[in-house]
Amino acid sequence: MKTTKTVALMTAQEYQQARVLLKLLVRTRENFQDLRKITDNRIGRKADGTKQNIPVIDINEKDTYLLEGISDAARKQEEEIETMLESILNRFSVYTEWLSKVKGVGANHAAWIIGEIDIHKAVNASKIIQFVGGNPGLVRGQISVEKKKYKPEMGDIIGTLPPTKDGVARLRVKTHELVRGDKKTKDFLCPFNSRLRVALAGRLCDSFIKAQSPYAIQFYYAEHIPDHFRNPDAKDSKGRSYMEKKPHFAGQYGRLDLSEQMTTETKKGGKIVALPWKETTDSHRDRAAKRRMLKGFLVDLYANWRAIEGLAVRAPYAEEYLGKKHNAPVQAKAVKKTSTKVKSIKSVPKGKESEARSLKLK
């Protein structure tokens, strides 16, 4: 259950420490989830405890309880971590004031967002969209260079990377070569946070659709309505007709489903062909619609989060330069104070009160 609590102030250091803790916990939960799924697959068990119709490892049925115990223990750890996440998330005003109120956003999604995105560095929404891997445009590619081998003509040093196994120091260098902002390019560092993209473009988008979030209604279905809503014979895993489940979608189309605009699609064998959007596969249009939905959410996340933290908010690029109005389906309450939490301002070290109140993070 989502809860809303009044948060007090944290120091800048406590704020960043809480973000790191969220990052560690949400990744640890994924490790336990992976262990549970792998173990269940080995013994042919579904998440609800029923049998899967798949080949399983040949062991004595009397001994399967050993593996079931491992799976059950992993599930228990997942649940305990989710409780911890909820407790820590309530230290952040962006969660209590906005994220917890967005239909489809769970504690795990919120932990990924707050743990990975530094809103104080995101001076505009485009920064977050690029960080999540939603920018199909060209960006300056980054490479890893051993510190001793660096030359100015390679590009600009923008940071350091963990040393190699041999202890060789490495630099992160921004080159003058351009690469796609949403794809991995050979010989270059990934231009986005790949873990965060999986968490948001994959799991969060699916959650929006499953919950019929306003983001799904306003953005996803406007772009694409899955083909099975136009096929009277299409049924879900439980044998129910899709058209009967959501009759308001029956026979309807999204923008991409009727679009003559040309795009490219990779066919079997790796062949890339040009064709109009309406002739692409259903899964291709599904992914494109999810990207549009995620981008709409990230624009709102940026605006609400920056406002809650008392930071300057810039209009989206399309609105500022192209005159296109972004209509947010979910708005946060107006919040004048900055976020963070300590039990009381008295617990802030002497001389640090101004730092706690301003939260001006470098």
Q: How confident is the model at residue 337 (pLDDT cuts 50, 70, 90)?
A: very low
Identify whether residues 168 and 199 lie together within a single domain.
no
Contact assessment for residue 329 and residue 215, using Cβ atoms and an 8 Å cutoff:
yes
Identify whether residues 286 and 317 lie together within a single domain.
yes
Q: Give the tens place of pLDDT for each residue, 14-48.
A: 999 999 999 999 999 999 999 999 999 988 888 87
Q: How confident is the model at residue 53 (pLDDT cuts 50, 70, 90)?
A: confident
Q: Give the tens place of pLDDT for each residue, 276-287.
A: 999 999 999 999
Contact assessment for residue 340 and residue 8, using Cβ atoms and an 8 Å cutoff:
yes
Tokens of 351: 């001389």
Contact assessment for residue 147 and residue 163, using Cβ atoms and an 8 Å cutoff:
no
Q: Which helix (H) or strand (E) holds 299?
A: helix 282-308
- pTM passes above 0.75: yes
**Is residue 265 assigned to a domain?**
yes
Identify whether residues 162 and 35 lie together within a single domain.
no
By mean pLDDT, which of 73-87, 144-158, 194-208, 243-257 is the weakest? 243-257
Task: Specify the pLDDT at position 361.
Answer: 35
**Is residue 100 assigned to a domain?**
no
Phi, psi of 235 (to 5 degrees): -130, 155
**Residue spans of alpha helices (H) in 43-124:** 64-89, 93-97, 107-116
Q: Which helix (H) or strand (E) holds 156?
A: strand 156-161
Identify whether residues 173 and 310 lie together within a single domain.
no
CA atoms within 13 A on the CB side of 66: 5
**Is residue 181 assigned to a domain?**
yes
Q: Give the tens place of pLDDT for each residue, 117-142.
A: 999 999 999 999 999 999 999 999 99
Identify whether residues 233 and 304 lie together within a single domain.
yes
Place of tokens 């249009």: 285
Calpha distance 277→288 (Å, rounded) = 10
Identify whether residues 179 and 230 lie together within a single domain.
no
- β-pairing, 156-161 with 262-266? unpaired
Q: How confident is the model at residue 212 (pLDDT cuts 50, 70, 90)?
A: very high
**Is residue 172 assigned to a domain?**
yes
Confidence check: pLDDT of 347 > 90 = no
Task: Specify the pLDDT at position 272.
Answer: 94
**Is residue 109 assigned to a domain?**
no
Q: Which domain holds residue 62?
A: 12-91
Identify whether residues 130 and 226 lie together within a single domain.
yes
DSSP one-letter code for 142: E
Identify whether residues 168 and 180 lie together within a single domain.
yes
- Interval 169-192 mean pLDDT: 97
**Residue spans of alpha helices (H) in 224-281:** 242-245, 255-258
Closest C-alpha to 335, from 110, 102, 94:
94
**Is residue 5 assigned to a domain?**
no
The residue from 171, 190, 209 where one domain ends is 190
Contact assessment for residue 284 and residue 275, using Cβ atoms and an 8 Å cutoff:
no
Distances in whole angstroms, Cα of residue 183 to Cα of each of 62, 94, 141, 282, 293: 48, 30, 11, 21, 19
Q: Hey, is 167 helix, strand or coil?
A: coil
**Is residue 51 assigned to a domain?**
yes
Task: Specify the pLDDT at position 57.
Answer: 75
Confidence check: pLDDT of 77 > 90 = yes
Confidence check: pLDDT of 60 > 70 = yes
Identify whether residues 204 and 303 lie together within a single domain.
yes
Contact assessment for residue 223 and residue 288, using Cβ atoms and an 8 Å cutoff:
yes
- Give residue 129's Cα distance to chain centre: 10
Which residues, including other chains, have CB under 8 Å from residue 71's CB and lie 6 or more apart?
Answer: 35, 36, 39, 40, 43, 45
Identify whether residues 196 and 128 lie together within a single domain.
yes
Q: Which amino acid is residue 299, in one-letter code?
A: V
Q: How confident is the model at residue 1 (pLDDT cuts 50, 70, 90)?
A: very low
Closest C-alpha to 208, from 98, 103, 107, 331:
103
Calpha distance 142→128 (Å, rounded) = 17
Calpha distance 65→107 (Å, rounded) = 31
- Interval 238-247 mean pLDDT: 87
The residue from 175, 190, 205 where one domain ends is 190
Identify whether residues 209 and 289 lie together within a single domain.
yes
Q: Dihedral sign, CA of 51, 53, 56, 59?
A: positive
Mean per-residue pLDDT of the chain: 87
Tally of domains within the chain: 3
Task: Specify the pLDDT at position 29.
Answer: 97
Beta bridge partners of 273: 265
The residue from 146, 172, 190 where one domain ends is 190
Identify whether residues 254 and 325 lie together within a single domain.
yes
- What percent helix, strand, coil does the chain show, rounded to 5? 50, 10, 40
